[in-house]
């Protein structure tokens, strides 16, 4: 029988991130279309079996809302004053008091952390450590806490500001993630003082305190990517690069054909089926699903869209939120689809805007067709029946219904419903004036001779 250990994860997300030079709190910045905080919460959810507490700064309803939307079961705590990482953890004291076997502390600005690394930390506790810490060897260790070790044992963590020259020479640094045996977590945390250069309650002091209690502390080494915290826009861009290469690799591993992987930009939640082909220079915003056998051609931008099996999108197509393409649909160059269902086999191949609409099975939307969905204050629906043919350069003024199999003459402005099987033409009638052009030229040449 396997014994399942319970786990409480405490995510510290109180930092404002002034070095981001942004009015947005640090943890709400995006990597692959998902906030830093949501990445951390997704890793916790994937690791499984954890309850989660998120510690935020005062008056940060936006951060609280993001935590709840990314992980509805998360409990949110407010650290009313910023007095150090241990002080922040204790803001979630009531969650710790509920008594989990493992207590994980993780920073909200480390979006590249992976579920198996969290498992490794917890395994160290299962193997008898009271405190386990993630260590890494950064190229430049300035600013990080140094891990003082003897053999496999971690003796203490010394913050950069408080370290001696000799301690600063230690390559192994504190990644910031820590795990505590739940039976002693509170006792250790409460013993942490603020007698240091910054006058802060340092979580890192937990290691030396555990040792005075005759408890074991260990360090586990990981790559810099996993623990690197984001403090600047440059680091944010760096994390995006790492995340994109992970997402591309995952897509390739899942059987997606990426013709030029480095040119495709994914969102963290992009879902691509088998035998999907993505041509060079495609951007996926959040919320996109592409089903088996579909092709996304170059320079297309998709967001909040569903692409059915075998559909072809692009080149130069834009699918906006609520675009739902069913099986075998063709959406071609310079076509924009928003909040619209395009039923099986329908085609809009050139220069069109289809918004707030249904396009019936097998219908053909001619070049330059526009659904005029907005009257300046409200949006209205356009319903196009099965097999309908919309002639080029037509404006369909919503709300309007085009019946099954109906024809719309090119260049029409359609303002009232068209019955099934009918032809509607809504444009000025053509007049032809025989010889008119020649008469004009003759008049002009007379004028010149004067
Ligand atoms: C911390 C570690 C350091 C480690 C480094 C790794 C401590 C004392 N130091 O330093 O050993 O090498 O991370 O990146 O833990 N926070 C709060 N409330 C506070 C203070 C911090 O919520 O009162 C949050 C911050 O928003 C951040 C995290 O805790 O997410 C870490 O705080 P930060 O000030 O970045 O610590 P570092 O100096 O980087
Ligand atoms: Mg930091």
d(CA 298, CA 333): 10
d(CA 320, CA 385): 22
C-alpha closest to that of 75 among 11, 119, 27, 4: 11
d(CA 45, CA 118): 11
Contacts of 449 (CB under 8 A, 6+ apart): none
One digit per residue, pLDDT tens: the chain, 450 residues? 566 899 999 999 997 778 899 999 999 999 999 999 999 999 999 988 789 999 999 999 999 999 999 999 999 999 999 999 999 999 999 999 999 999 999 999 999 999 999 999 999 999 999 999 999 999 999 989 999 999 889 999 999 999 999 999 999 999 999 999 999 999 999 999 999 999 999 999 999 999 999 999 999 999 999 998 899 999 999 999 999 999 999 999 999 999 999 999 999 999 999 999 999 999 999 999 999 999 999 999 999 999 999 999 999 999 999 999 999 999 999 999 999 999 999 999 999 999 999 999 999 999 999 999 999 999 999 999 999 999 999 999 999 999 999 999 999 999 999 999 999 999 999 999 999 999 999 999 988 776
C-alpha closest to that of 247 among 34, 26, 49, 37: 34
Atom of ligand 1 nearest to the CA of 201: 8
Q: Residue 402 gets which letter from DSSP?
A: E
Indicate the pTM of the whole model.
Answer: 0.92
Q: How far apart are the first and last CA of the chain?
A: 110
| Residues making up the chain, counted from first to last | 450
Written as six digits, the tokens of 143 are 């600013």
Given a contact cutoff of 8 angstroms between Cβ atoms, the answer to whether 316 and 299 are in contact is: yes
C-alpha closest to that of 192 among 57, 99, 88, 78: 88
**Ligand 1 atom 21 nearest Cα:** 85
Given a contact cutoff of 8 angstroms between Cβ atoms, the answer to whether 25 and 231 are in contact is: no
- Cα of 229 vs centre of ligand 2, distance in Å, is 6
146 in ligand 1 pocket by Cβ < 6 Å? no
| Residue from 35, 107, 177, 228 whose mutation best tests the ligand 1 pocket (most atoms within 8 A of CB) | 107
């Amino acid at each position: 029988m396997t014994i399942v250990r319970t786990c409480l994860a405490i995510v510290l997300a109180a930092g404002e991130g002034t070095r981001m030079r942004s009015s947005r709190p640090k943890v709400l910045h995006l990597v692959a279309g998902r906030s830093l905080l949501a990445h951390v919460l997704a890793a916790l959810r994937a690791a499984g079996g954890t309850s989660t507490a998120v510690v935020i700064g005062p008056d940060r309803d936006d951060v609280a809302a993001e935590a709840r939307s990314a992980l509805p079961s998360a409990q949110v705590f407010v650290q009313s004053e910023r007095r150090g990482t241990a002080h922040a953890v204790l803001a979630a004291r009531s969650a710790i008091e509920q008594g989990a076997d493992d207590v994980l502390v993780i920073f909200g600005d480390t979006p590249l952390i992976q579920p198996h690394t969290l498992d490794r930390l917890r395994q160290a506790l299962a193997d008898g450590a009271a405190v386990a810490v993630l260590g890494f060897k950064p190229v430049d260790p300035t600013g990080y806490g140094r891990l003082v070790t003897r053999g496999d044992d971690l003796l203490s963590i010394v913050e950069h500001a408080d370290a001696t020259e000799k301690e600063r020479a230690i390559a192994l640094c504190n990644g910031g993630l820590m795990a505590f045996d739940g039976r002693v977590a509170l006792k250790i945390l409460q013993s942490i003082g603020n007698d240091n250069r910054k006058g802060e309650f340092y979580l890192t002091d937990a290691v030396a305190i555990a040792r005075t209690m005759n408890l074991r502390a260990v360090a586990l080494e990981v790559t810099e990517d996993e623990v690197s915290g984001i403090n600047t826009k440059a680091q944010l861009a760096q994390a995006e690069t790492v995340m994109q290469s992970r997402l591309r690799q995952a897509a390739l591993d899942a059987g997606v054909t990426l013709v030029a992987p480095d040119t495709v930009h994914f969102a963290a939640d992009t879902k691509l089926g088998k035998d999907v082909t993505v041509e060079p220079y495609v951007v996926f915003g959040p919320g996109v699903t592409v089903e088996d056998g579909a092709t996304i051609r170059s320079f297309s931008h998709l967001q909040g869209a569903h692409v059915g099996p075998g559909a072809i999108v692009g080149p130069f197509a834009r699918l906006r939120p609520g675009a739902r393409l069913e099986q075998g649909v063709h959406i071609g160059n310079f076509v924009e689809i928003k909040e619209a269902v395009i039923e099986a086999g329908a085609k809009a191949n050139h220069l069109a805007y289809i918004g707030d609409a249904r396009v019936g099975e097998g219908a053909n939307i001619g070049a330059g067709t526009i659904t005029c969905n907005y009257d300046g204050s409200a949006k209205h629906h356009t319903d196009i029946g099965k097999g309908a043919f919309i002639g080029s350069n037509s404006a369909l003024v919503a709300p309007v219904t085009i019946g099954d199999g109906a024809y719309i003459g090119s260049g029409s402005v359609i303002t009232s419903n068209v019955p099934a099987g009918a032809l509607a033409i809504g444009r000025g009638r053509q007049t032809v004036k025989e010889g008119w052009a020649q008469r004009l030229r003759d008049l002009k040449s007379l004028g010149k001779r004067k």
